[in-house]
Structure 1
Amino acid sequence: MTNWYAVFVGFVVSVLAGIVAFALPGIGHVAAGLAGGFAAGYVAGGGLGSGFWHGLLAGSIGGVIVALFLGLGGTIVGGLAGGPVGSLFGGIGLFFAAVFVAFLLALDSAIGGAIGGVLKE
């Protein structure tokens, strides 16, 4: 059963750490995902699988929100640029880019969640 409180805690930790992560681009965002996933897995407990699941959910929620902003930005750029550039950022290409970003942001959170879940036991 999913502990939504743990998912929410992991999401909040990811967002707060992500804001601080702008000081260390790239490395900081990976660390933010790991920290949020760890928090979700630790609060949920239940071992490796439970921690992985809760970290994955916390990272996925953050990833979907970032993907929505990516989609909005791509739509604005595509609308302003028009022509081939607008086609590049619009439609199915943007959808796959958003799905990739959401998956990428959820993956490190899931790893952190698995570690948190194991350490809680």
Structure 2
Amino acid sequence: MTNWRAVFVGFLVATVLGIVGLVVPGIGQLVAGLIGGFVAGYMAGGGLGSGFWHGLLAGSLGGIIGGLLVGITVGVAGLALGPIGGAISGAAGLGIVAFAIAISLIMALESAIAGVAGAAVRS
């Protein structure tokens, strides 16, 4: 059974550290995803499979929300440029979807690996 509290806390940790990582060099997005996945796996406990699952969910939630924010930003920019901008942002939408999926997969996999480590530490 999924511990949604652990997933949400892991997501929040990754989000906050990701924002700090934008301002403070050296922390970066990779470390934020790893720590968020670790926290989700540690909180969920229950073995390595559970840590993998909870870290995966925490990381993919961050990737999905990040992709949505990029999509909304491009859509609003396209609307501001009028009909030609709408056509351009519509054509760019396919590339943005592919980019968002790739980022979501990377964030989910790194968080899942860290979730396994978190569950192993707790066990």
Quote how far apart the aligned CAs of 1:85 are: 4.6
Mean Cα deviation higher: 70-79 or 44-53: 70-79
- What is the TM-score when the length of structure 1 is the normalising length? 0.86
CA distance in 2, matches of 1:94, 1:37: 25
Change (3 A) 1:78 1:104: farther
- Aligned partner of 1:112 in structure 2 is 114
- What is the TM-score when the length of structure 2 is the normalising length? 0.84
CA distance in 2, matches of 1:86, 1:28: 29
* Paired residue total: 119
Quote how far apart the aligned CAs of 1:14 are: 0.8
**Which one-letter code corresponds to 1:114 in the other structure?**
V
- 5 Å-filtered alignment, 1:3-42, equals 3-22=3-22, 23-24=24-25, 28-42=28-42
Whether contact under 8 Å (2:55, 2:111) holds in the other structure is: yes
**5+ residue gaps, structure 2:** none
Whether contact under 8 Å (1:59, 1:106) holds in the other structure is: yes
Identity of aligned residues (%): 51
**5+ residue gaps, structure 1:** none
- Aligned partner of 1:86 in structure 2 is 89
CA distance in 1, matches of 2:86, 2:42: 49
- Aligned partner of 2:61 in structure 1 is 61
CA distance in 2, matches of 1:111, 1:48: 10
